[in-house]
Amino acid sequence: MTIDEAQFAGSCTRVSQKPSRKLPEFAFIGRSNVGKSSLINMLCGNRKLAKTSQTPGKTKLINHFLINDSWYLVDLPGYGFAKISKQGREELRKMINDYIANSEEMVLLFVLIDCRHDITRIDRDFLAGLGENGIPFAIIFTKCDKLGPNALKAQLERNREILSEQWEELPPMFTSSAETGAGKDEILDYIRKYI
């Protein structure tokens, strides 16, 4: 599948305010700064579509992007960002969880993890919550341009082991780079199967 048309369709903080057209949604989530907005831009071939930043915590709203006039990519705020107040963090957590639990059009959640690091406790808790609520998800290991092929392979293997402690069956997994475009075809083909 290719993305021929991508346009910003609005920001919201809750399901009741999301774009009124009922179309399948594929959402991106992960810790702040993991590269959610950059990945959305890479998939859409438009570096200016979703705002990216070197400062974590850039995306504080739920942003919808209408793709090929037939489905939405959803950019969710990052979770687990330490540098905002406890209350701010709790509000974001609630916003994210409410949206995930209540958006009827949500088909699949892509959980992004920085390929350079071990999956953290925060990520594992988040994944556990998805499992408990029966929310389908896949994992994308981002920024794979930052590791050489051998280091990448070793770190992926390590993360597979960490996930195996938690999950009997591993979720679908992808690697991506917003710099090189790696993973684009695989991720879009995977989405295509659902629409």
Q: How far is the CB of 42 from Mg ion (least distance, A)?
A: 13
Instruction: Compose the 106-135 pattern: x for residues touching ligand GTP by CB under 6 A, - for all others.
Output: ------------------------------
User: Of the candidates 37, 142, 155, 159, which one interacts with Mg ion according to CB under 5 A?
Assistant: 37
Q: Counting contacts by CB under 6 A, is residue 175 touching ligand GTP? A: no
Ordered strands of the 173-175 beta sheet: 6-12, 62-67, 71-75, 25-30, 106-114, 137-142, 173-175
Q: Counting contacts by CB under 6 A, is residue 142 touching ligand GTP? A: yes
User: Of the candidates 33, 41, 59, 63, which one interacts with Mg ion according to CB under 5 A?
Assistant: 59
Q: Residues 186, 171: contact at Cβ < 8 Å?
A: no
Size of residue set near ligand GTP by CB under 6 A: 22
Closest by CA position to 183, among listed 156, 163, 154? 156
Reading the block at residue 66, the tokens are: 């209408």
User: Of the candidates 18, 32, 71, 175, which one interacts with ligand GTP according to CB under 6 A?
Assistant: 32
Calpha distance 99→96 (Å, rounded): 5
